[in-house]
């Protein structure tokens, strides 16, 4: 039986007194993006059996590195050929020099 799982991550980087996000510019649309994706998935012709949404809307610790990695592991755990997995991320990105000649601009995103 095909399993369907989705992990939706939205980070606005809202600064808090104990936040490591203080060096990032705060965003305003990441939570909305995740909610819109959730709505889209709920109205799609196929359904996802398991959907997890992580945002820093109410608790910044939900989007700390260790928690995101744990949820990425949840997403791929026991996956089989034919399973449908979705990862949606809305937040800041980063470019770094690539070691691969496949990137025309010389950077990985």
Tokens of 88: 């949606």
Reported as a single tens digit per residue, the pLDDT across 26-84 is 777 889 999 999 999 988 887 888 999 999 888 888 888 899 999 999 999 999 999 99
Reported as a single tens digit per residue, the pLDDT across 78-107 is 999 999 999 999 987 777 788 877 877 877
* pLDDT number for residue 15: 62
* pLDDT number for residue 84: 93
Residue 89 and residue 75: Cα distance in Å, rounded? 13
Residue 21 pLDDT exceeds 60? no
Q: Rounded to 10 degrees, what is the CA torsion of 107, 63, 36, 32? A: -90
Buried b (16+ CB within 10 A) or exposed e, 61-100: ebbbeeebeebeeebeeeeeeeeeeeebbbbeeeeeeeee
Q: Give the mean pLDDT of 6-11.
A: 94
């Amino acid at each position: 039986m095909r399993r369907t799982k989705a992990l939706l991550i939205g980070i606005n980087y809202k600064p808090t007194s104990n936040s490591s996000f203080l060096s990032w510019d705060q965003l305003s649309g990441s939570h909305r993006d995740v909610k819109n994706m959730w709505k889209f998935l709920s109205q799609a012709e196929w359904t996802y059996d398991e959907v997890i949404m992580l945002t820093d809307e109410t608790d910044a610790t939900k989007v700390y590195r260790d928690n995101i990695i744990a949820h990425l592991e949840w997403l791929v755990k026991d996956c089989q050929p034919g399973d449908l997995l979705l990862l949606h991320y809305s937040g800041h990105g980063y470019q770094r020099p690539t070691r691969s000649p496949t990137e025309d601009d010389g950077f990985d995103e």
